[in-house]
Structure 1
Amino acid sequence: MTRYAALLRGVNVGGINLKMAAVAEAFTDAGFTDVTTILASGNVLLTSRSGVAEVRKKAEKALRDTFGYDAWVLAYPIDAIAAISQAFPFERDVDGVQSYVTFVSDPDVLDELADLEPGEGERIERGEGVVYWQVPKNSTLGSAIGRTMGTRRYKSSTTTRNLRTVEKILR
């Protein structure tokens, strides 16, 4: 049995509003165990005998079947989330700065995002299956990654969490 973090894309932002208790119930009904949710932004901890690809597929199906929307989930063993957090390349707590991790399942998309030209005050660095980035507060959506992530191409293979949320997933 492996403990996973399932990261739901676009939940409780942009019109897809789900109650986390209902998400936990859908995942339990799909056969996952020890299901808990973190915050209201689509972070689910669960246990499964399945590998990453099967967890992702089963979670997406549970959400699509239960809630009727085009669900996208990225799944990681919890120890991979810990390694991603530990590898954060920038200073963690800087006044006036937002720190993010974009999780990416498609290597081509990872290359594209890591190669973006940072905007003013923005920092971008490629990690193992992720892109780390920082931007001045209140400039997230207008940043190079923020503008890029809003396009359809990235919907099925990326999701972003601020560093504080990543750390809460690990507690």
Structure 2
Amino acid sequence: MTAPGTTRYVALLRGINVGGITVTMAALADTVSALGHSAVKTVLASGNVVFESDDPEVSAVKAGLERALSERFGYQAWVVLMTRDQLAEAVAGYPFEDRDGWHSYVLFGSEPALLDELLAAAATLDPADERVQPGAGLLYWQVRRAVGIKSPFSSLSAKARYKSTTTNRNLRTLHKILALP
């Protein structure tokens, strides 16, 4: 349970533990704690952090995280930050049924115009391989496992243009984050 006067946040980092940027989850948790945040927990090794903060200003918390991560780990940190309640709403809104042989993702974004671009491009996708639908500040995406990261939408969303404002997570990972006490 979150202490009165604090906000429970979920930070989703993009681009760590790939491409030569190695960040251990212990070092990540230490960095977040050093900023004065509490109840810090990481999930998996892909840059998922849950923590509590006395600061209710999402933009200030996000900026502080990005600055601290960039300084400590020597890379340009990009963080999508939301409250735990916002994440729960996003997961509850997932529009696609669970399908055998498919992967389910949520692509989070902090720049609405870029999410709109991605959504517009999704209109040309083959629905036999992948589907995309909009949500509030995010896109829901489901792709056939056999297509996976070679899919047109995966290739598009991985472009540098979207790197600093988006990150995606598998729905299973999001459920693990939400299951934390």
TM-score (norm 1): 0.95
Q: CA RMSD in A?
A: 1.1
| Off by >3 Å, runs of 4+ in structure 1 | none
Question: Contact 1:118–1:143 (CA<8 Å) still a contact in 2?
Answer: no
User: Who is 2:103 aligned against?
Assistant: 98
Question: Contact 2:42–2:49 (CA<8 Å) still a contact in 1?
Answer: yes
Question: Contact 1:122–1:136 (CA<8 Å) still a contact in 2?
Answer: yes
Return the match for 1:118 from 116, 121, 125: 125
Question: Contact 2:102–2:145 (CA<8 Å) still a contact in 1?
Answer: yes
Letter of the 1:41 partner, please give it: S
Letter of the 1:125 partner, please give it: Q
* Residue 157 of structure 2 is aligned to residue 152 of structure 1: no
Q: Deviations over 1:51-97 (max 9, x none)?
A: 211111111111111111111001000000000000000013x2110
Give unpaired runs (5+ residues) of structure 2. 1-5
TM-superposed deviation, 1:32: 1.2
Give unpaired runs (5+ residues) of structure 1. none
Aligned-partner Cα distance in 2 for 1:4–1:77:
4
Letter of the 2:107 partner, please give it: T
- The range that moved more, 77-86 or 10-19, is 10-19
User: Who is 2:46 aligned against?
Assistant: 41
User: Who is 1:63 aligned against?
Assistant: 69
Aligned-partner Cα distance in 1 for 2:17–2:25:
10
TM-superposed deviation, 1:10: 1.1
* Residue 32 of structure 2 is aligned to residue 2 of structure 1: no
User: Who is 1:86 aligned against?
Assistant: 92
Q: Deviations over 1:1-58 (max 9, x none)?
A: 1000000001112321210000000111112111110111100001112221111111
Letter of the 2:130 partner, please give it: E
Question: Contact 2:10–2:82 (CA<8 Å) still a contact in 1?
Answer: yes
* Residue 74 of structure 2 is aligned to residue 74 of structure 1: no
User: Who is 1:169 aligned against?
Assistant: 177
Task: Work out the percentage of aligned pairs sharing the same amino acid.
Answer: 46
Aligned-partner Cα distance in 2 for 1:129–1:109:
10
Aligned-partner Cα distance in 2 for 1:143–1:37:
29
Q: State the structure with more CA Rg.
A: 2
Letter of the 2:120 partner, please give it: D
Q: How many residues align?
A: 170
User: Who is 1:132 aligned against?
Assistant: 140
User: Who is 2:35 aligned against?
Assistant: 30
Q: Deviations over 1:123-144 (max 9, x none)?
A: 1101111100111104222222
User: Who is 2:112 aligned against?
Assistant: 107
